[in-house]
Structure formats: C-alpha cells, structure tokens
Structure 1
Amino acid sequence: MAEREEIALGATLDTLLKAVRRQLAECRAEDADFEARLLVEHFTGTSRTDAISDPDRPVTRQAVGEIDAALARRRAGEPVYRILGFREFYGLTLKLSPQTLEPRPDTETLVDLALAEARRIVASRGRCRILDLGTGTGAIALALLSMVPEAEAVGVDISEEALATARTNADINGQRERFVALRSNWLTDVDGMFDLIVSNPPYIPTADLETLSREVREHDPRAALDGGADGLDFYRSIAAGAHRHLEGEGAVAVETGYNQKSAVEAIFAKEGYSTVRTARDLGGRDRAMLFMPVRSG
C-alpha cells in the first residue's frame, strides 16, 4: 500500500519511474527497468529522451491512475504487453487480443529464414504468394509483406477474433491490400497454390503446459500453445497437407521448439521433404526450419 501511495504522490517523470520500477521488481518482473519504461512512456505519452532531459516534468493525475491500474494487473501476472494491448515485432506495431499469441523475438528467427526464401522466389518468379497457417496477430505474414513488396499473403486461423485482430494489424501497417484473413482449421478450407507456406504452430506437449510461466499459461490462448501429446501434432498436419497447396519451386518454413529439430525433420522427410536450411535464435537454440519437396528425376 505504501508503494501505491508514493506513486500517487510522485508528480514527476523521475519519481514515477523509480516507484514503478520498485513495484515491478517486488513482483519479480523479468526486466523491471524495461517494463517500467514501457508503462511510464505509454501512459504519460513521453519518451526515454524526455525522462533523461526533463526528469522533473509533472505527471498528470490521470496518467498516475492509469499506471497504478496497470501495476495492479501486472502484479496479478498479466504480461506487460497484454496490458499495453500491443507489441512491436520486426519493426511493426501489432495489436493483441485474448485469442492471439503474443509474438516474441524468437519468431523473428522464422521471419528471417522465410524472408530469404521469399526474396529468392521473387527473383525467380517476380512475385510470391504466402500462406501463413495459424496467423494469430498476422505477425509473420505482415512482417514478410513489409519486407517484400512483390508478395501477397493469406493468413489462416480458426478464431474469428484472431482474424479480426490480424485484419486490424494489416490496416495499421499499410498491408490490407495484400493480406487476406481466412477462417480455416489449418488447411481444411484453404484453396489455391502458394510459393511459401509459413507457420509458428502450437508445439508445447500437453503435459508441459502447466510448467509454463504464469504469464504464458494464463494469458496466451491454449489453442496456440498445445501441440498434442508430443508437441508435434501440427507439424504432422502441415507436412501431410502442404504439398496440395505448394507451387513447384515452393517451400515450407516453420518455427520449432528448441529440442524438436530432429523430430520435425523426420516428420517432413516422411512426407517427401528435404531440409534446406535451419536457423537458431539469439540464444543459440534451434528455432526455425525450411523444407522443400524432394523432386524426382
């Protein structure tokens, strides 16, 4: 209670930032300094430069109240980006909703891997049609569109709320004309052919869901996490069905769990794919794989 009173009386950027940082440290936020800056900058409409150059700037009572409410949510285990309602990903600002996975830096590894392939396809064919399975916020598809002007994408999701969020994100980031949101249970209702199929599928084994952090377990949608008994159900589905929608020189790129590389490679090999490239995330863990069908003759 004392900390909340101190924040309520903290009338400057400097005192507010210090008080927020202390409260976040007490609730064991992973990076209290970073989260404090995010919350203070968002609710006061200031920047890090403002905090350095004008630390005595007065803070409005409304901003203090909004930050106090945000801290209560954070203490209850809600991730900071869920509180803000958006997250930056690959240079884009993406809105979040309860039915979308929060895009994380690890997935940028998949974008990097797919981006090189999309550019290769454009160089060869002059365009690139992308299918993003389990699109959620639209993060992967929209990141690729932002980097490849010749590309267009279809984002597939079973959740109407997720698709609405992806459409909004396409609008926000100027990609609505090249992005189509399609409701489908993975490939079930997908028509047409694509040059590149991408996906960050659910890959957590069901039994491991309860071991995830509170922030993930309680706030990311379970359907975007649960990969079945061994975490590999959706890789099997993608590998079995992708060939029906893949152009002749097309490829499939997927994100994987750090310990799933060999298993995912075997699943795609069984369906007639060869591993073209793999990529590791910033922590040095196996994180993304690119496959192409084995061509006879």
Structure 2
Amino acid sequence: MKEDALAVPGDEADLRTWLGWGGARLRDADVDDPRREARLLMAHVLGTDLAGLLARARMTDSERAGFVAAVRRRAAREPMAHITGRAGFWSLELETSPATLIPRPDSETLIEALLDYCPDRERVRSVLDLGTGAGCLLLAALSEYGAAWGVGVDIAPDAARLAARNARRAGLEGRSAMLAGDWAASIRGVFDVVFSNPPYIPQGDLAGLMPDVRDYEPVRALDGGADGLDAYRLLTGALPLLLAHDGVAVFEIGIGQENSMPTLARQSGLEIVDVRADLGGIPRAVVMRHRRS
C-alpha cells in the first residue's frame, strides 16, 4: 500500500485512531511488531511510557506533527533507537547516535558470561573495551563490579564522545575513560577483563543485511573483511600483552565464527574456555584466557 492510500487522520482524531494509522503505516513498511512500535513512537513523542498513553485522549498540533514525522522515519527503516535517541542495555539507558552500533540485547550475553566466570565482584579491578561504541559493555561491567575502573577505546572520536556522555549518564565517569584510538595501539598495561564487539560481518554479506542496519549503522563497525575475521586476527594477537595472567577476555562473534576462534586463540597462546549462545540460540560470546601449560 502506498503512503497516499493511508490518509493521515484529521486533527480531531483520538489517540486510538492515530495509533491505528501508525501501526498500518509501519506494517506496510514491513516493520516487525508494527502496533507496538507505533505505541513506542507515540510514547516518545508525548514524553511518557506505554502506560501513560492510557491517560491521554488526544494530541496537540505539535505532538501530531511529531508523531507523523517519527512514523515516517521508522517506515523508512530508520532504527527506533536513532529516532528516540536512546536504547536500553543491561540495567542502563544509554544515549545512541549514528556514530556507533546500537546496543543490542544479544550483546548482554557477554556480560552474563563475565559474571559467571568472575563471580567475585571485588576481584575484577580493571576492564578494557576495544571498539567500545556507545560504551555499553564497559559501563554494564562497571555497574556490576563496583571496585573496578575501565577504559573504552573507539577509532571514531564521535563514538568515544558518546561513550563518555553515557558514562556521565550512568554516574560512572569517575571510574572510566573513553579514548579515540586504533584498537589497542595506544594502550599499555594489563587488565583483568578485556571486551570487544568488533566488526564481524563478511564483506560479501553486507548488502544482505536488514535495511535498518545496512542503511543506518556505521559500515566501519560492521565490515569484518573478506571472511569477517580481520579484527579477531589483530585482537587475539594483541591480547597476550593486555590480559592479566588470570584474566578473561570476552568477545562477541558472528554466526559460524565459533569454529574459527580456537585456531586464532591458539596462535596467540590463548584458549577458548567457553562459547555462549544468545537468547536465539546463536553462539554469540567466546570466553578466552591465557593457555594453561
């Protein structure tokens, strides 16, 4: 159905009518769960939550205009997090921007794995996050390990600035530093925990990504080279000098890459001690440490 066949409701229309229009517009654009997304967009425009919509009957002129604009942006497959400017991750609400990948629930698998391998909340004192993006992994870890401090590194200065704002938002700016740099090139010292969610999409698969990702998220954070493993080769090579003797590294991986990681780890004197699946059953996190003799 073309947009002009979906007439925008009149000014006198109530919220239910507007939500019906928004849901139909998003359904037409093949957006998953269009009714819920229409409600989320309306809640954002009205500055409330989903429950707060029940207390409203109609919108003001400016609210109607804002809702129409938001629905049209989402119908063009712009990510919800770019429209609202925020995304939830672990226990945090983070600012988002087109400068970084959007924090996703699948990445929470890395935090769950870390908590299982480092259950003593006082033992972890230092955390490094390579390719920190919005800062989600580092900040979630610091929120769980109250004695730890951390460093996040991203090659994009805008991403490092965003991560720093999120550290302030989470009240963790005193225990974190966000740097613009090329992976670990400017980092010295060892860390109890090393995270990374590097680019891992094979170049040949980029064109087939969902338009929400392909057209709106930064290619440099997606493109993993011909086989998707370029960043892992570099990172596993750097890990022996970054990871404490009894530390753990937790990396996010793409589909099928759990089969390649053991070889890369062995070449650098590391070993894979676990591979964790996300809620969809896809192997998502590899846990590494120095190889035991």
CA contact (8 A) 1:77 1:215 kept: yes
Residue 29 of structure 1 corresponds to which residue in structure 2?
31
2:99 pairs with 1:99: yes
- Which residue in 1 is equivalent to 2:50? 48
* From 133, 140, 143, the counterpart of 1:143: 140
CA change 1:154–1:45 in 2 (3 A) is same
- 1:157 is matched with which residue: 133, 151, 154? 154
Would you say 1:13 and 2:15 are equivalent positions?
A: yes
Name the residue aligned to 2:248: 251
Distance 1:27 1:171 in 2: 37
1:184 match: 181
Distance in 2 between residues matched to 1:75 and 1:37, nearest whole Å: 14
Cα shift at 1:118: 4.0
Q: Are 2:196 and 2:252, in contact at CA under 8 Å, matched by a contact in 1?
A: yes
SS in 2 for 1:119: coil
Deviations 1:61-106 (Å, cap 9, x if unpaired)?
A: 1111011111222222211211111111112111112210011111
Q: Does structure 2 conserve the Cα–Cα contact (< 8 Å) formed by 1:100 and 1:136?
A: yes
Cα separation, 1, equivalents of 2:15 and 2:49: 10
For residues 217-232 of structure 1, the aligned pairs below 5 Å read 217-232=214-229
Mapped partners of 2:177, 2:27: distance in 1: 42
Q: Which amino acid in the other structure matches residue 36 of structure 2?
A: F
Q: Structure 1: which 4+ aligned runs deviate by more than 6 Å? A: none
Distance 1:50 1:182, change over 3 A: closer
- Shift, 1:266, TM fit: 1.6
1:166 is aligned to 163
2:133 match: secondary structure? coil
The alpha-carbon deviation at position 218 of structure 1 amounts to 0.9
For residues 13 and 49 of structure 2, the distance between their equivalents in structure 1, rounded to whole angstroms, comes to: 17
Letter matched to residue 261 of structure 2 = V
Aligned partner letter, 1:20: G
Amino acid at match of 1:119: P
Normalized per residue, the structure richer in helix is 1
State the 1:58 CA deviation.
2.2
Q: 1:266 to 1:40 in 2, by over 3 A?
A: same
Which amino acid in 1 is paired with 2:135? G
Q: How big is the shift at 1:278?
A: 1.6
Q: What TM-score results when the alignment is normalised by the length of structure 1?
A: 0.93
Describe the shift of the 1:78–1:66 C-alpha distance in structure 2 as closer, same or farther (beyond 3 A): same
Larger mean CA deviation between 89-98 and 165-174 belongs to: 89-98
Q: Deviations over 1:223-269 (max 9, x none)?
A: 10011110001111111011111111111110111211010122112
Following superposition, the deviation at residue 11 of structure 1 comes to 4.1
Q: Which amino acid aligns with 1:129?
A: S
Question: Contact between 1:118 and 1:196, CA under 8 Å: does it hold in 2?
Answer: no
Maintained 8 Å contact 2:31/2:77? no
Q: Report the secondary structure of 2:48's partner residue.
A: coil
Instruction: Give the match's secondary structure for 1:210.
Output: helix
Structure 2 residue runs without a partner (length 5+): none
| SS of residue paired to 2:6 | helix
- Alpha-carbon displacement from aligned partner over 1:110-165 (angstroms, at most 9, x marks no partner): 12112333434x45x4x420000000000111111112211211000011000010
Contact kept? 2:272, 2:289, Cα under 8 Å: yes
1:49 to partner: Cα distance: 2.0
Give the secondary structure class of the aligned counterpart of 1:190. Answer: coil
Secondary structure at 1:46 match in 2: coil
Q: Does 1:238 align with 2:235?
A: yes
| Per-residue deviation, 1:50 | 3.0
Please, which runs of 5 or more residues in structure 1 have no aligned partner? none
Q: Secondary structure at the match of 1:295?
A: coil
Secondary structure of 2:153 counterpart = strand
Contact 1:97-1:161 within 8 A present in 2 as well: no
Q: Distance in 2 between matches of 1:224 and 1:10?
A: 45
Contact 2:265 2:271 in 1 (8 A): yes
Task: Give the equivalent residue in structure 2 for 1:115.
Answer: 115
For residue 86 of structure 1, what is the aligned residue in structure 2?
Answer: 86
